[in-house]
Amino acid sequence: MTEPRTTADYLATGSQLAVVRDKLGATSPDDVEIFVIVSGDGRVTAFNGHVDLGTGIGTALGQIVAEELDVAFPRVTVVLGDTERTPNQGPTIASETIQISAKPLARAAATARAALLARAAERLAVPVSDLSITDGVVTPPVPDNRALSYGDLIGDDRIILRIDPEAPLKPVADYRVVGQKAARVDLPAKATGGLVYVHDVRVPDMLHGHVVRPPYAGVDVGDFVGTSLIGVDQSSIADLPGILAVVVIGDFIGIVAEREEQAARAAERLRVTWKPIPHLRDLTDIPTALRENPSTPRELSHRGDVEAVRAAVAQPMDRTYVWPYHLHGSIGPSCTVADFRADKLTLWSGTQNPHMLRADLAKLMGMDEGQIDIIRLQAAGCYGRNCADDVGGDAALLSRAVGRPVRVQLTREQETAWEPKGTAQLMEVRGGLDAAGDVASYDFSVRYPSNGAPLLASLLTGVIPPVPMVFTMGDRTAIPPYSYGALRATAHDMAPIVRASWLRGVSSMPNSFAHESWIDEAASVAKVDPIAYRLRYLHDPRAVDLVKAMADRVDWVPHTEPGTLGGEGDILRGRGFAYAVYVHGQFPGVPAAWSAWVADVEVNKTTGDVALTKITVGQDSGLMINPAGVQHQIHGNVIQSISRVLKEEVTFNQIAVETKEWGGYPMITFPEIPPIDVLMMDRQQEPPLGVGESASVPSAAAIANAIYDATGVRFRELPFTPERVRAGLEAAGITSPPAPMALPAPPPAKKRGLWAGLGLGLAGLVGIGTLALPIRSAMAPIAGPDPTLYSASTIARGKMLAALGDCAVCHTAEGGQPMAGGLPLETPFGTIFSTNLTPDVQTGIGTWSFDAFKRAMRQGIGQDGQHLYPVFPYDHFTKTTDEDLEAIYAYLMAQTPVVATIPANKLAFPMNIRPLMAGWNALYLKTGAYQPDPARSADWNRGAYLVEGLGHCSSCHTPRNALGAEIASQRYAGGVAEGWEAPALSSLSRAPIPWSEGELFTYLRTGFSPLHGPAAGPMAPVIHELQALPDSDLRAMAHYLASDLPPVSVEAEKVAIDTADARNAGAMLPSAGPGGRIFQGACAVCHAPTAPPLFGVKPNLAFNSNLQSASPDNLIRTILGGVPKPAVANLGPMPGFGPVLSDSQIADLVRFLRRQYAPGQPEWADLDKTISRLRATAFHAGP
């Protein structure tokens, strides 16, 4: 039997007892919402409109129902937030589920229990009061041994009852299920891959969609929203397979494809032009940005004459506290499957607010809510409003466009940039103390630019206008919990500056940061112990109990000034306290659990690093339904909030959100987790309180107060990064400023490409070329390849030699047939397309005789007598013996012919005059096969033959002159290949550990030297080809290349390794700065030698010559484009970070790497320019 889908399906089912409530505004008796169903087979199903955000509320609700119905917990299934089946209980916000929506559920279960008992009493003819129930079986008093199960009592009946508000609830003393640890019901499936998250929904006929977002990432107010698209160039993805539709509506762009990677690739590649986007308010200065944002004051509380008292205080204390933008930071970017059919939209969604999303979709799609069915599935923990709803709008539009179900997966960068942020917040206190040190006046105001984040698809398509909308949610815990003399609290309600919506601890966490920091500051001014000072103003008995219990728990030592915990060396110790009650819901709101923190910290006064050594957290949650679950929640709140307080901050560029991935938004990692001691107050007799957020709320102030206690310096702006703390300590004179950094290097000499400078010199060649040599004669064509001519072994040898010569590297176009040519080679005098080397008689070399081939390889002259351009390295190939040339010829002619017409070269005059190359040849070409040096070993000569001939190593690794010829006197001093620096292989190499013969061999053989690094850039395909060569040849090459290098001393190598270890360790320090944090979050997993093994190699950056180079180009190119195709499979790939890191983030990262790994080298100058140049030449910016 399939599971019932709708309320009607459920109610139509026989053999069950359902407890329902009339829907709001119901017009017929069938218009009901179900709360509990007891089935004839004894199973119980409970329904709740909220969703499990990963906090285990399904388990707790199941316990409540099991308790009130007297069944064992495993019998109960809980169905959460799903528009067709569950009651509309509003969005899952804050801590309301247990505190508010559990009540009708408990009452519904009690209604069912009472009804079943009444039936049993009648059947057994025993008064209800004499009956007892054990796991759904009703029994009369002993010795009567009759028994009736719920199933027996229901029989075949279909019973529908309204919730009885008077149904008796169990006294707490009788609880057997509630208050006990219940094993999480979801974990066995989650831990074995069986649970279907929204990301895992697959429906028949499903397609994959990706969206392309506008450049104003994360901004949703302003005329330009929905109106900035100029055009979409569909031809830019015309060559991609599997694309079914490109949907463009206003600024909404989506692509539907057969496969996910096809949609993803197309979204990356689609060329879109946008109008210029207006600048955003400067969010590097949050106080100014928020003060200037239009607002309306709303007085929340006013006691006494704040102004007058403030004017007369003995000790004025005006303070400003600043909260940054945070991410919800779900680990799984949002995803949805939508299925649009004629008059019905079905959505499989991870939304937090199914009923709200349904209304939004109705508007977007022009449908009735009744036509939309939202099936709610588990998503990644979101802790507020992320993109879960937005992606629903995207998927609905795409499904409608193609008439099939479409799954849309947002990318990490889309989720991060576009999720409605947890907003920045500004808290200002004007206050003061009287002469006795008591708080005389406290005038608090808050600015919270955040709202409900309207559905993005509706904004991008123009269905709703992008106008500022104000939500009044800045008032949570805006009134301090203390009974100050004169008090005023004002919320300056305002619309968002960037997309922002609720995030765990909504406005209360920042407000409490201010309240609890301020009272700590006041205590210090008044010279009173911070806890004692709070207790002066705290009168709520449960709050007082909690605060006192916490002081006992940590053996709090009363103190009136900072520094009492001392420290040693650079370390200063401190301990901070904070208390808060999270008030949620519509103002004045409902208090959730009380919470208090004691944070123990160690502040490093030189680096500014704040290490948490212990967090003690106490909570009064009232009745805890599942105490283990509550403890889990507290841990989660503590860890997430310390991450937010110490590390997290969204950054912006001039027009949009800059943060797009985790390197730029570091979250707490395992080694940073402090010991957490949880104190849970025993209040099982009290009503349950929300526990989902409370323990986050005191976090920031507790840590700020601890830092103050350690250092005597007050920090009023988050996050408490080492840079911020260090700067604060410096300003206070506690630590001295760092020694100045090395000066930037002079700008590097202008770069030359492989053929740069050629244009300059070519003018001179016009004379030489035309005068010196006439056009050469054509070679007679042959009829076609003769497969009988060469033996299989000759062909095999030719194949190997062709690999050494990298023929296929240049003569294969991207995605084309091997050796069929067509790869565009960029040169300063234009674009040259490589030729078709397959033996096709029309378009390839099928009619070339061996002599014609030999002349091309030796002299750079084609079959037709035309000169070839020396981008084809015939100046090296000329050294190849006749025998080897013949083998290569044999191999090429034995290939399957491919018809491939090569586009004409795009060269400008005079470079399009091929005879000029004759002049070049006259100057630089020494034709003829390699002549062995009798003074050298056979190995050396073999190596020289391979390296200098077909291997043509020096064509990249030797600098070239103005005419593009290798400079003989600077052999292997380093050159350029396809814009990459080909590092020096001579004694000029900057490798921290010089190359040795052994390492060269390892590198050539495996593509990776542990003491240098992997082959990347244009070297990767070279190594790939070299895999065809036997060890003996690679050893000979290594031997030859190393023969001019100085020997590597064991001691020098040891010193270099020790230095590298120290540099690597330093790179992982918390005080590594913004670039260092990007390294730690994005790079270290593969580059830190301490990181656990992962498929692929771990290139040690301390050994990498690119970081030592005069130019940052190779490093930047690798960061931008990654190494998508390693030379050898087991080296593993590197993803490109170009699409997700901004130019300034890459500059931070590169600057950090240079300082950290090449401290003796000057800083690279003009990084920003270099990065944008390289990005423009080679890589597209991401969405």
Whole-angstrom Cα distance, residue 719 to residue 721?
6
Nearer to other proteins, 330 or 607 (CB): 330
Strand partners, 243: 257
Note whether 334 and 393 are within 8 A (CB). no
Copy the structure tokens of residue 572: 């200063």
Least separation in angstroms between residue 1009's CB and other proteins is 20
Nearer to other proteins, 168 or 241 (CB): 241
Q: Which residue has 């920090």 as its token pair?
A: 715
The item of other proteins, ligand FES, none sharing an interface with residue 21, based on CB under 5 to 8 Å by kind, is none
Least separation in angstroms between residue 230's CB and ligand FES is 33
Nearer to ligand FES, 187 or 1065 (CB): 187
Least separation in angstroms between residue 244's CB and other proteins is 16
Copy the structure tokens of residue 2: 């399939």
Asked if 1133 interacts with ligand FES (CB under 6 A), we say no
Q: What angle, 0 to 180 degrees and rounded to 10, lies between the N-to-C axes of helices 530-537 and 508-526?
A: 110
Least separation in angstroms between residue 1180's CB and other proteins is 16
Nearer to ligand FES, 454 or 1099 (CB): 1099
Nearer to other proteins, 441 or 619 (CB): 619
Asked if 1096 interacts with ligand FES (CB under 6 A), we say no
Asked if 748 interacts with ligand FES (CB under 6 A), we say no
Residue 619 half-sphere exposure, CB side, CA atoms within 13 Å? 34
Least separation in angstroms between residue 1007's CB and other proteins is 12
The item of ligand FES, other proteins, none sharing an interface with residue 12, based on CB under 5 to 8 Å by kind, is none
Binding residue count for ligand FES, defined by CB under 6 A: 3
The item of other proteins, ligand FES, none sharing an interface with residue 352, based on CB under 5 to 8 Å by kind, is none
Which 3-42 positions form the footprint of ligand FES (CB under 6 A)?
Answer: none
The item of other proteins, ligand FES, none sharing an interface with residue 147, based on CB under 5 to 8 Å by kind, is none
Residue 1099 half-sphere exposure, CB side, CA atoms within 13 Å? 24
Rg, the chain, Cα only: 37
Least separation in angstroms between residue 412's CB and ligand FES is 7
Least separation in angstroms between residue 411's CB and other proteins is 7
Task: Write the Ramachandran bin of 203: left for phi over 0, alpha for psi from -120 to 50, otherwise beta.
Answer: beta
Strand partners, 321: 427
Note whether 58 and 52 are within 8 A (CB). yes
Q: Which residue has 């062995």 as its token pair?
A: 932
The item of ligand FES, other proteins, none sharing an interface with residue 1129, based on CB under 5 to 8 Å by kind, is other proteins
Whole-angstrom Cα distance, residue 285 to residue 447?
14
The item of ligand FES, other proteins, none sharing an interface with residue 906, based on CB under 5 to 8 Å by kind, is none
Which 378-397 positions form the footprint of ligand FES (CB under 6 A)?
Answer: 381
For residue 1117, the 8-state DSSP code is H
Q: What is the DSSP string of 508-558?
A: HHHHHHHHHHHHHHHHHHHT--HHHHHHHH---HHHHHHHHHHHHHTT---
Nearer to ligand FES, 741 or 1085 (CB): 1085
Q: What angle, 0 to 180 degrees and rounded to 10, lies between the N-to-C axes of helices 1113-1121 and 1143-1157?
A: 130
Nearer to other proteins, 181 or 275 (CB): 181
Least separation in angstroms between residue 850's CB and ligand FES is 52
Least separation in angstroms between residue 759's CB and other proteins is 35
Nearer to ligand FES, 21 or 632 (CB): 632
Whole-angstrom Cα distance, residue 800 to residue 1027?
9
The item of other proteins, ligand FES, none sharing an interface with residue 670, based on CB under 5 to 8 Å by kind, is other proteins
Nearer to other proteins, 201 or 993 (CB): 201
Asked if 1122 interacts with ligand FES (CB under 6 A), we say no
Strand partners, 577: 598
Least separation in angstroms between residue 183's CB and other proteins is 8
Asked if 865 interacts with ligand FES (CB under 6 A), we say no
Based on DSSP, count helices (H) and strands (E) in the chain, helices before strands: 37, 35
Helix (H, G, I), strand (E, B) or coil at 315: strand
Nearer to other proteins, 528 or 823 (CB): 823
The item of other proteins, ligand FES, none sharing an interface with residue 1140, based on CB under 5 to 8 Å by kind, is other proteins
Give the dihedral sign, CA 10/12/18/20.
positive
Least separation in angstroms between residue 1095's CB and ligand FES is 12
Note whether 486 and 435 are within 8 A (CB). no
Whole-angstrom Cα distance, residue 184 to residue 81?
18
Which 997-1016 positions form the footprint of ligand FES (CB under 6 A)?
Answer: none
Which 328-367 positions form the footprint of ligand FES (CB under 6 A)?
Answer: 331
Nearer to other proteins, 278 or 1095 (CB): 1095
Residue 566 phi, psi dihedral angles, 5° rounding = 65, -145
Nearer to other proteins, 176 or 259 (CB): 259
Residue 345 phi, psi dihedral angles, 5° rounding = -120, 125
Whole-angstrom Cα distance, residue 469 to residue 51?
26
The strand pair at 406-409 and 207-212 is best described as parallel
Q: For residues 630, 634, 639 and 644, what is the CA-based torsion angle, rounded to 10 degrees? A: 120
Nearer to ligand FES, 220 or 415 (CB): 415
Q: Which residue has 């906090």 as its token pair?
A: 55
The item of other proteins, ligand FES, none sharing an interface with residue 169, based on CB under 5 to 8 Å by kind, is none
Copy the structure tokens of residue 1012: 């240098």
The item of ligand FES, other proteins, none sharing an interface with residue 184, based on CB under 5 to 8 Å by kind, is other proteins
Least separation in angstroms between residue 105's CB and ligand FES is 25
Least separation in angstroms between residue 881's CB and other proteins is 36
Residue 222 phi, psi dihedral angles, 5° rounding = 130, 150
Least separation in angstroms between residue 626's CB and other proteins is 11
Copy the structure tokens of residue 369: 């809510």
Nearer to other proteins, 196 or 557 (CB): 196
Which 42-61 positions form the footprint of ligand FES (CB under 6 A)?
Answer: 54
Whole-angstrom Cα distance, residue 875 to residue 860?
8
The item of other proteins, ligand FES, none sharing an interface with residue 165, based on CB under 5 to 8 Å by kind, is none
The item of other proteins, ligand FES, none sharing an interface with residue 329, based on CB under 5 to 8 Å by kind, is other proteins
What is the CA angle 825-828-834, rounded to 5? 20
Asked if 189 interacts with ligand FES (CB under 6 A), we say no
The item of ligand FES, other proteins, none sharing an interface with residue 1081, based on CB under 5 to 8 Å by kind, is other proteins
Least separation in angstroms between residue 54's CB and ligand FES is 5
Least separation in angstroms between residue 633's CB and other proteins is 8
Residue 423 half-sphere exposure, CB side, CA atoms within 13 Å? 32
What residue is closest to ligand FES based on CB?
381
Least separation in angstroms between residue 353's CB and other proteins is 17
Nearer to ligand FES, 212 or 382 (CB): 382
Q: Which residues contact 1134 (CB under 8 A, 6 or more apart)?
A: 1016, 1086, 1118, 1122, 1123, 1124, 1126
Separation of CA 921 from chain center: 54
Nearer to ligand FES, 12 or 331 (CB): 331
N-terminal to C-terminal alpha carbon distance within the chain: 45
The item of ligand FES, other proteins, none sharing an interface with residue 229, based on CB under 5 to 8 Å by kind, is none
Given strand 344-349, what is the order of strands in its sheet? 243-249, 252-257, 207-212, 406-409, 335-341, 344-349, 372-376
Whole-angstrom Cα distance, residue 282 to residue 653?
9
Nearer to ligand FES, 331 or 967 (CB): 331
Point out which residues bind ligand FES (CB under 6 A).
54, 331, 381
